[in-house]
A = this chain, B = another copy of it.
Amino acid sequence: MVATIDVLKDSGYHGLTIERVATSAGVGKTTVYRWWPTKARLVAEALSTQLEFHPVAATGDLRTDIRYLVQRAVQALHRSPLAQVLPEMAYDLDHDPEAREEILKLFGPARASNLSVLYAAVGNGSLPYDLDGALILDIISGTVLYRSLLGRDLGPHIIDQLTDLVVDFRLPRAHPRHDSS
């Protein structure tokens, strides 16, 4: 497991080989296969031991809380180890439902926490009563991941833009906004 993480860091998901993990763990390949049927499952589980969710108290101030939420999405999906690994795993996850499940579990706590922030705001009237929180989160994550995949701009302004979208229902403005803020 630790070995998996090491290899993953050194070589990425593509460079990770069952053979390599086994060797670096001082273990027979057989043993690895015994416990994890696929590379995806192995990595999924390894990541799950590695990443842990640090819950954050909501401040109650909508803009602050949303901004933080967006920030964490960007971090998680842009330069984190997870983000580097996820796209390489895309295919395997699509063909290995159990691994997908495992990976999705990793997002669970953060997602729940984020939803609770949103619905707290709904509760006090800052956001519409029939808000589709899940979609909001997907919009944020999706936008960030998409830009990351395509190698497009992911500068700091995108955080403001997405925050404004949620807090003010405001469509993103062209980003020479730092001078107007």
Contact = CB atoms under 8 A, between A and B. Distances in A.
A145 B86 CA distance: 14
Interface in A13-27: 13-14
Chain A interface, >50% SS class? helix
Contacts of A150: 100, 104
Contacts of A136: 171-172
A170 B146 CA distance: 22
Interface residues of A, number: 41
A161 to B, nearest CB: 6
A120 interface: no
Nearest to A169: B169
A175 interface: yes
A94 interface: yes
A142 B147 contact: yes
Interface in A126-161: 127-128, 130-132, 135-136, 138-139, 141-147, 149-152, 158, 161
A90 interface: yes
Contacts of A169: 169-171
A128 B90 contact: no
Contacts of A139: 139, 142-143, 165, 172
A6 interface: no
A13 B151 CA distance: 21
| 10 shortest interchain CB distances as A-B pairs | A142-B146, A87-B90, A142-B142, A142-B143, A88-B91, A132-B172, A135-B172, A130-B173, A132-B174, A139-B143
Interface of A: 13-14, 87-88, 90-91, 93-94, 100, 104, 127-128, 130-132, 135-136, 138-139, 141-147, 149-152, 158, 161, 165-166, 169-175
